[in-house]
Amino acid sequence: MNPQDPPRPGDKSPAWHPDTLAVRQAVERSPFGENSEALYLTSGYVQPSAELAAKRFSGEEDGFTYGRYGNPTVASFEQRLAAMEGTQAAIGTASGMSAILMMCMGLLQAGDHIVCSRSMFGSTIKLIGSDLARFGVQSSFVAQDKLSEWQAAIAPNTRLLFAETPTNPLTEVCDIAALADLARQHGALLAVDNCFATPALQRPVAFGADIVMHSGTKYLDGQGRVMAGALCASEALVREKFLPVLKSAGMTLAPFNAWVVLKGLETLQIRMQAQSAQALALAHWLQAQPAVCAVHHPGLASHPQHQLAMAQQSGQGGAVLSFDVGGDAPEQARARAFAVLDRLQLLSLCTNLGDTKTLAAHPASTSHGRLTEAQRQAAGITQGLVRVAVGLEHLDDLRGDLQQALCAL
């Protein structure tokens, strides 16, 4: 903020690779010269003059004014994430869901229409399909992988297409470039929830997406410590559409959480590579287990969009897999899934993902528990489905624990 301050690392070498930016991109150091990024805990900022305060509050000049509007630690996280996603700017939020709320509040008004994949994150479906509907925002939910359904759902009032790829928990993949074309043809924007792949494996703007949405709670933190979220987009969208919502609605990212996630970004690349490799190895092993009737992971050749996933993502398909233990009736399938989950000794029974600890969950009764049975069926979330977010424990130990748990069946 001060012209005498040293330039930002990114300004010196804009051609640095994403791995370097993940470690180096941040706001300038304070005059103390700290090497590790500082955590600034302050709700207000002392202004050099009333004149400058007025200019900062009006947005005529850059500068921090009040904690709800901005913070240097949060700004470091935003700059680093934007550099990694390849967008001009980013804006941090208190959680992934508040990022989605900010996006919808910034871009939509009563009477506008949004098209989403019907296999999106459970709370996303609830927020857009129910809560925003009360404010007059119309929505359609379509099959993630069927471009014709996205096309058919578009109406003259469609402003936004919103996809998640790979999806939670079935790891369905959609063609980002094709959706970006479709959005452009109809004067709409494309937003992509990039929680599962992260910029370490997939950069949606490289395929034409306008907005990348994140839950920082997941892989960006990487160790299951804090809630955080972000939208990455052009400077114009961030400044003109999202920042005004942040200022009035206050879904601000806490500086401490921003600092945790900022440091998490430094190891994102190696964690994603290692955890994806483990997930693919476990997925292959699960396919050979007699008690398992289906395994979902984009790295498997049997995955319906395997080719597309490999073209759109680097790495081995991400760290989340799910598997189905089957069952004749829904109640029986649920009992089978519960039996496996309750026998786990190493894997945590925990409805979260993106941790270095491997987590297992029953989507139908937790992350997707608030959906109606019809919505769940449309999304393909069966009662026998178990999701595993693979961490960094030794593969033999993970396999051993799953093997003894599957003996319950």
Ligand X SMILES: *Cc1c(COP(=O)(O)O)cnc(C)c1O
Task: Count CB-CB contacts under 10 A for residue 159.
Answer: 19
Q: If binding means CB under 6 A, how many residues of this protein chain bind ligand X?
A: 15
Binding of ligand X at residue 401 (CB under 6 A)?
Answer: no
- DSSP bridge partners of 349: 360
Cβ of residue 164: shortest distance to ligand X, in angstroms?
5
CB nearer to ligand X: pick between 10 and 222: 222
Question: Taking CB under 6 A as the criterion, which residues in 108-167 touch ligand X?
Answer: 121, 124, 164
7: buried, middle or exposed (CB in 10 Å: 19+, 13-18, 0-12)? exposed
Return the residue nearest ligand X (CB atom): 96
Task: Give me 237's structure tokens.
Answer: 């969208």
Cβ of residue 215: shortest distance to ligand X, in angstroms?
3
Strands 189-193 and 89-93: unpaired
Closest by alpha carbon to 401, among 358, 366, 363?
358
CB nearer to ligand X: pick between 10 and 96: 96
Question: Taking CB under 6 A as the criterion, which residues in 183-202 touch ligand X?
Answer: 193, 195-196
Sheet (strand 294-296) strand order:
294-296, 320-324, 385-389, 359-361, 348-349
CB nearer to ligand X: pick between 333 and 385: 385
Cβ of residue 376: shortest distance to ligand X, in angstroms?
16
CB nearer to ligand X: pick between 47 and 366: 366
Closest by alpha carbon to 44, among 65, 59, 62, 30?
65
CB nearer to ligand X: pick between 121 and 338: 121
Spacing of C-alpha 311 from chain mean position: 20
Longest dimension (CA), the chain: 73
Residues 228, 216 contacting (CB under 8 angstroms): yes
* Calpha distance 203→231 (Å, rounded): 13
CB nearer to ligand X: pick between 169 and 384: 169
Binding of ligand X at residue 96 (CB under 6 A)?
Answer: yes
Tell me, residue by residue from 209 to 248, as one string, x for binding to ligand X by CB under 6 A and - for no binding: ------x-xx--------x-x-------------------
Binding of ligand X at residue 315 (CB under 6 A)?
Answer: no
Sign of the torsion formed by the C-alpha atoms of 401, 392, 119 and 102: positive
Question: Taking CB under 6 A as the criterion, which residues in 55-74 touch ligand X?
Answer: none
Residues that bind ligand X (CB under 6 A): 95-97, 121, 124, 164, 168, 193, 195-196, 215, 217-218, 227, 229
